[in-house]
């Protein structure tokens, strides 16, 4: 049973080429997979594309008007081109061997309506903006639908004309002789570039492309917890396609700026606090800036250089692939002990007294024990025997 191609596009049987094209363009914008991910819409998009392919080809449309189906599979034995009674003809065999380039059946004209390309823009953000999230307006320069021809490419009041070289098929054929006999090959028509029609009076504003360059503002919401290199996708905000095709997507890539205090490792933050030798020995409390405000950092007496104190939950938000925040990372505080230099004589005397009180006049190599039996002590004992 022949399919209702006119009903698929929602046009009458006496519809002209422009009406058919406008109906297809309208449906393609609604059903294209880049715009409508619903599987049912994708199947409908394929049906609409097939209907436009048939009705935009004069020969295929003539078959439809006679009650046939030019896109049928030839299941009835003895159908035209089915010389072998297997449900397919010699054209199908030529398609299999020559990739659709053989036989008299062409692929038909290609549509001027094509999906648009994706666009990428980079957005610099501070560490605090990455932590809290931000909403900003971006100015992007992309291709938009031509306001004068609304994507058709023709000057107002005009329409494309059928190519007089390929008669609207979009292909031209050539015959070559070989030891197998005559081989018919098809290639895109050089006159209309495979479209089957020529825009004789192109739109003055877009030059027949159906789109123009324009600078426009786009609002984007960056979620909390993003990191350098992450991208936020804005569906349908990219380049409008040739012929007014559906727009691609706009991707906003985060460029995280260096912070003066913190370095980042995923959701964890790291910073270094330099303490005087006396503060490390005696212990102290000092104010520490964090992303949530100032926290008190308590340093225990006897803290060694290289020690790390962890402030739980004071790091960056943990952004999951679902776009939701699941807790926070930690803040790692690395302690660096500053050894004093340029001591005065009184300071030197005080340190010598402290060293004498602690029995540290003669330092020992690392590995010595608390009983005075370090490496130097053991060497001294061995030579004294």
Q: Which residues are annotated as a binding site for Zn(2+)?
A: 146, 149, 163, 166, 189, 192, 203, 206
Listed residue (152, 151, 161) closest to 58, CA to CA: 161
In angstroms, the CA 96 to CA 88 distance is 11
Binding residues: 146, 149, 163, 166, 189, 192, 203, 206
Tracing tokens 């350098």 back to the chain, one arrives at 228
- Name the one residue in this structure whose structure tokens are 């500053």: 338
- Expressed in angstroms, the distance from the first to the final Cα of the chain is 113
């Amino acid at each position: 049973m022949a399919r209702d191609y006119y009903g698929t596009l929602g046009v009458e049987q006496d519809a002209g080429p422009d009406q058919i094209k406008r109906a297809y363009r309208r449906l393609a914008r609604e059903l294209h997979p880049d715009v409508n991910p619903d599987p049912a819409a994708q199947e409908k998009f394929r049906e609409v594309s097939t209907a436009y392919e048939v009705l935009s080809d004069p020969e295929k449309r003539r078959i439809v008007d006679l009650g046939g189906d030019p896109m049928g599979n030839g299941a009835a034995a003895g159908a035209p081109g089915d010389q072998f009674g297997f449900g397919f003809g010699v054209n199908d065999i030529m398609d299999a061997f020559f990739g659709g380039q053989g036989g008299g059946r062409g692929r038909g004209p290609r549509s001027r309506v094509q999906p648009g390309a994706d666009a990428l823009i980079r957005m610099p953000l501070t560490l605090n903006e990455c932590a809290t999230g931000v909403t900003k307006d971006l100015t992007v320069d992309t291709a938009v639908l031509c306001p004068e021809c609304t994507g058709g490419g023709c000057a107002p009041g005009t329409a494309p004309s059928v190519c007089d070289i390929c008669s609207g098929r979009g292909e031209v054929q050539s015959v070559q002789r070989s030891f197998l006999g005559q081989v018919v090959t098809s290639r895109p028509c050089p006159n209309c570039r495979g479209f089957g029609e020529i825009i004789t009076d192109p739109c003055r504003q877009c030059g027949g492309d159906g789109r123009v360059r324009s600078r426009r503002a786009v609002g984007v919401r960056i979620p909390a917890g993003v990191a350098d290199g992450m991208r936020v996708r804005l569906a349908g905000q990219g380049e409008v396609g040739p012929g007014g095709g559906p727009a691609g997507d706009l991707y906003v890539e985060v460029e995280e700026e260096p912070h003066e205090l913190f370095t980042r490792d995923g959701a964890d933050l790291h910073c270094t606090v330099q303490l005087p030798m006396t503060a490390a020995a005696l212990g102290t409390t000092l104010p520490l800036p964090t992303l949530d405000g100032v926290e008190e950092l308590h340093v225990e007496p006897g803290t060694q250089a290289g020690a790390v104190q962890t402030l739980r939950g004071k790091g960056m938000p943990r952004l999951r692939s679902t776009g939701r925040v699941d807790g926070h990372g930690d803040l790692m505080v690395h302690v660096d002990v500053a050894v004093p230099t340029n001591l005065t004589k009184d300071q030197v005397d005080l340190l010598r007294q402290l060293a004498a009180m602690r029995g540290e006049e003669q330092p020992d190599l690392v590995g010595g024990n608390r009983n005075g039996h370090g490496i130097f002590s053991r060497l001294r004992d061995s030579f004294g025997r």
